[in-house]
Amino acid sequence: MDISIIIPVYNEEESLRELSAWLLKVMIKERYDYEVIMIDDGSTDDSLRVINEICRKNVRFKTVSFQRNYGKSAALQTGFQIARGNVVITMDADLQDSPDEIPILYKMIMGQGYDMVSGWKKKRHDPLHKRLPSKLFNFTVRLMSGVKLHDCNCGLKAYRKDVVKSIEVYGEMHRYIPVIAKWAGFKKIGEKVIRHYPRKFGKSKFGMERYAKGYLDMLTIFFISRYARRPMHLFGLLGTLIFLAGFGIAGYLAYEKWVNHVFMMASRPLFYFGLLAMVLGTILFVGGFLGELICRNNPDRNRYLIRTEIEKFDKKFKSNPQQQQRRQNPQNNPQNKATGQGNGQQ
């Protein structure tokens, strides 16, 4: 199958028929072997009824319906698990993303060798209070992750199949899929300027709280990608440094008391800072140690993503059958006959 298109849906009943007709037009024109997976994320309007109506008319449209609203990340992860296409396209259901961009994204994946291509809404039809925080958010992501994208949170993206089968998205981490893909070993991530349309129906389902959640999710991804298998490297190092700082303060206060005969040390703020540092350092170190014990008992501790696997073989003799035959039958080797080897002659 050429393409799987995954569309999370939450209260978008007005736009679904137009979107499905637009997708069908593009797929027929390009003659793709395709499937469209609509994930109903617990909609409270008639979105599910409209989706079922679309699926009855075209067997290439499929649906998964959640019992309640779990969020966009859960919808995408479910779509990733069941997608069968060589290229997986994700897009929103609000008609702000254009299906006409799909053929170009498909060619960038299959023809130019990209692992992932993210859309860039260079000219956005959103209010200022959404655009400014978005620019700050994308700048922070570029700075912390090294992924050079202008619009990391764009809903329109294209992936190679093995990318979506190798990553896991949950919580609010759909905003960081390019970062997750990069840290999973998929380095060739591209970007394409796309056309962004004004919203025709309804209103945005995301409020300002998404930026606070996004910041916390960024820290979570940063920690998990680097220290999930070795927590002692983070907590142990921080604990050791903080404990040594507190120990140094304690040593200084002891020197002042016993050498310089300065009294009333317990009443000085520095004494309590040193004590707090040693206690905090010990807690962090022990936390890192417990994390290592938990990781050791994790059944997925030795699970790795493998790109290719080549069996070991003898290149020298398999590439030249005559040499292999001479090796097995030394009496037939002309060099052995000349030197008298192979027949017991000296």
Torsion of CA 214, 220, 226, 232, to 10 degrees: 160
Residue 38's beta-bridge partner residues?
7, 63
* Neighbour tally for 34: CB within 10 Å: 24
pLDDT at residue 117 greater than cutoff 60:
yes
pLDDT tens, position by position, 204-235: 655 556 666 767 777 777 777 777 778 888 88
Residue 331, pLDDT score: 52
**pLDDT score for 6:** 96
pLDDT in the model for residue 211: 63
What is the band of 173 on the pLDDT scale with cuts at 50, 70, 90?
A: confident
Looking at residues 240-257, what average pLDDT do you find? 91
In whole angstroms, what separates CA 285 from the centre of its chain?
A: 29
CA dihedral over 145, 148, 154, 157, signed as positive or negative: negative
The arithmetic mean of pLDDT across residues 249-256, rounded, is 88
Question: What percentage of the chain reaches a pLDDT higher than 70?
Answer: 80
DSSP assignment letter at 208: T
Give the DSSP H or E segment for 39. strand 34-40
pLDDT at 37: 96
Query: What is the pTM assigned to this prediction?
Result: 0.71
Tokens of 56: 């009855």
Give the pLDDT mean for 50-72. Answer: 93
Q: In the block, which residue shows the tokens 């912390």?
A: 144
Residue 307: what pLDDT?
67
- C-alpha to C-alpha distance for 137 and 151, rounded to whole angstroms: 9
pLDDT band with cut points at 50, 70 and 90 for residue 264: confident
DSSP line for 302-323: T----S-------HHHHS-HHH
Q: What is the spatial distance between Cα 23 and Cα 5, in angstroms, rounded to a whole number?
A: 9
**8 A C-beta contact, residue 11 and residue 205:** yes
User: What does the domain layout of the chain look like in residue ranges?
Assistant: 3-227, 232-296
Mean pLDDT (whole number) for 123-147: 74
- Give the pLDDT confidence score for residue 337 in this predicted structure: 46
Beta strands 157-160 and 116-120: pairing type? Answer: antiparallel
What is the DSSP secondary structure assignment for residue 332, as one 8-state letter? G
Backbone angles phi, psi at 196, to 5 degrees: -110, 125
Place 345 in a pLDDT band, splitting at 50, 70 and 90. very low
DSSP 330: G
3-227, which class in CATH? Answer: alpha beta
* pLDDT at position 343: 44
- Stated as kind and residue range, the H or E segment containing 60 is none
Q: How confident is the model at residue 309 (pLDDT cuts 50, 70, 90)?
A: low
| pLDDT for residue 156 | 93
Q: Is the pLDDT of residue 39 over 60?
A: yes
